[in-house]
Chain A
């Protein structure tokens, strides 16, 4: 379960103070699939980054799977991200110098696993997204949809309980977007993976269990 209590996020520079999130209270139950919608600059990605422990809230507190995040020290956060969370980004963020299976292995590099087991798990994850045949291709040799499927394989290879997807279909045409949504829905349904997905696309949002709307950093529903 993900729980946010009175989360504020304020960015300060010498002259400007920008409120990205204000008094966010949100609970996402285990196995839930929610979407976050709102106009550009409404704080959707910031919310996802706070949930994913990539960003630290200015005020408020957050719990993941029942544990309140009490320490924001680099190593502790890195461990939680590695064990509990998977990320899917709009622009895929695959490492172009590595082939597909090496990209998928990345989260496992930070666990004490033998190379053979890492490789096995990575190939299994690729199988789940239907890309085993492309395991030794490089990202630039794949279509956008295929790259996003690799990114999903990377996100799920470590079997995280939470998957955070930041506009995963934003860079894809509708056909490829549908394919990605089907994979996400299957993960949610079959593995009970909790998914929080940011999207601009109301058609995609309708396929999730619940939609949270943000406007100027505030929750509006």
Chain B
């Protein structure tokens, strides 16, 4: 029976080339946009290196400070993280690290712009970078203010083309740093760990950062012993906030914040905590457009297929059987659209990766995204096929044989 359905489905698709093209174009375009969006989402929030164990990571990105002199909202200062986050008991490891900042260097008179991040020794235990050469710097390097640096492979290529940079000096902001390790490029969208070069916090030009409390440019990332500990860590952090001794209570005397994932933080900032829901709603609405188009196209095929429906009913097809047939046809069409979409998505993702629009983007169609896409395609096929199929199956057999819609 399925073979018969597929045979007739393909014949209908070929006979109505324009409708088939419009349907496939709509499905493929929608799926390409969705797959690329999912790939971007996955790139930002998914468990990928160097945040492969994202289920055990929490970061304090922003704190909200209140006091007699007003409110502030942003990354906290080093002193807060060092004094109050680093000393939490529940985490396995805590790393304090700055936001990434641009620095200008010169090589043979050519200006090179790089993004540099100040990190401690624990940073390399919390995040799992792929070292191509050398290794990370240590907590002792951080304590002693050693001018050492880990660079990414693109920076190696820019500063040391064709040679190993280990042990050599790289000039950052006019100061030399000894390269101790080279890691694979981290995409800029991996906002928490991204940089071109990572150097110890203590090598900052000014020691002012040490006293910055509620207002600064530092994050801390917590590695939990297990995913089950995340809630305990959040609870301990909450308790710690009530015991803070504020350095200047006349200015700031209340701090709120929460160790959370990047998704939670962005969700809170943008959509009051409902980013995932908002994204899902947007996705469904976006899918509705081609779905309605497909429903229209399918419904318009009723007149053309009414004789077939009449014949099938006359020879024993129940309405339910016909619904099955037309839904199968639609799912086949959407699966073909899905295959086209995956080919198209691959091209779009490659274009984005090579365009440089997102530095070091490594957008890929991984198996997880492929499964998302497949699920979307099947859902799409069912969603846009059921109503027309139901409408078709309800045709009165006598009217259908006369070639009329009931």
Contact = CB atoms under 8 A, between A and B. Distances in A.
B311 A110 contact: no
A90 B26 CA distance: 40
Contacts of A81: 313-316
Interface residues of A, number: 28
Given A97-B7, A97-B11, A102-B4, 19 more contacts: A54-B314, A54-B397, A74-B319, A75-B318, A78-B313, A78-B316, A79-B316, A81-B315, A93-B401, A95-B311, A97-B8, A98-B4, A98-B8, A102-B7, A106-B315, A109-B317, A110-B316, A154-B315, A158-B315
B64 interface: no
B208 to A, nearest CB: 78
A89 interface: yes
A171 interface: no
- 9 shortest interchain CB distances as A-B pairs: A82-B316, A97-B11, A110-B316, A107-B315, A78-B318, A75-B318, A54-B397, A87-B314, A93-B311
Interface in B342-358: none
Contacts of A83: 316
Contacts of B315: 81-82, 86-87, 106-107, 110, 154, 158
A55 interface: yes
Contacts, number: 71
Interface string B357-377: 000000000000000000000
A217 interface: no
A52 B316 CA distance: 11
Contacts of A49: 398
Interface of A: 49, 52, 54-55, 74-75, 78-79, 81-83, 86-87, 89, 93, 95, 97-98, 102, 105-107, 109-111, 115, 154, 158
A23 B243 CA distance: 95
B398 A54 contact: yes
Nearest to A94: B311
B238 to A, nearest CB: 61
B311 to A, nearest CB: 5
A93 B310 contact: yes
Contacts of A107: 315-316
B73 to A, nearest CB: 63
Interface size class of B (residues with CB under 8 A): 20 to 34
Contacts of A75: 318, 320
B53 interface: no
A9 B15 CA distance: 39
B312 interface: yes
B8 A74 contact: no
A109 B324 CA distance: 13
Contacts of B7: 97-98, 102
Nearest to A105: B4
5 contacts: A78-B316, A93-B311, A97-B11, A98-B4, A115-B3
Most chain B beta-carbon neighbours within 10 Å: one of A49, A75, A78: A78
Nearest to A76: B318
Nearest to A98: B8
Contacts of A89: 401
B313 A95 contact: no
Interface in B1-17: 1, 3-4, 7-8, 11-12, 15
A77 B314 CA distance: 10
A97 B396 CA distance: 22
A49 B310 CA distance: 12
A91 B397 CA distance: 15
Contacts of A95: 8, 307-308, 311
A109 B6 CA distance: 13
Contacts of A115: 3
A158 to B, nearest CB: 8
A52 B310 CA distance: 13
Interface in B287-325: 307-308, 310-321
Contacts of B317: 78, 109-110
Contact of B311 (A82, A106, A111): A106
Contacts of B396: 55
Nearest to A73: B318
Contacts of B313: 54, 78, 81
Contacts of A86: 315
Most chain A beta-carbon neighbours within 10 Å: one of B1, B3, B12, B315: B315
Contacts of A110: 315-318, 321
Given A49-B398, A93-B310, A95-B308, A74 B318 contact: yes
Given A78-B317, A81-B316, A109 B1 contact: yes
Contacts of A98: 4, 7-8, 11
B1 A93 contact: no
A54 B12 CA distance: 26
A147 to B, nearest CB: 13
A89 B401 CA distance: 9
Most chain B beta-carbon neighbours within 10 Å: one of A54, A86, A154: A54
B380 to A, nearest CB: 24
Contact of B314 (A52, A102, A109, A111): A52
A109 B320 CA distance: 14
Nearest to A84: B316
Most chain B beta-carbon neighbours within 10 Å: one of A75, A89, A93: A93
Contacts of B314: 52, 54, 81, 87
Interface in B323-353: none
Contacts of A154: 315
A57 to B, nearest CB: 13
A106 to B, nearest CB: 5
B116 to A, nearest CB: 66
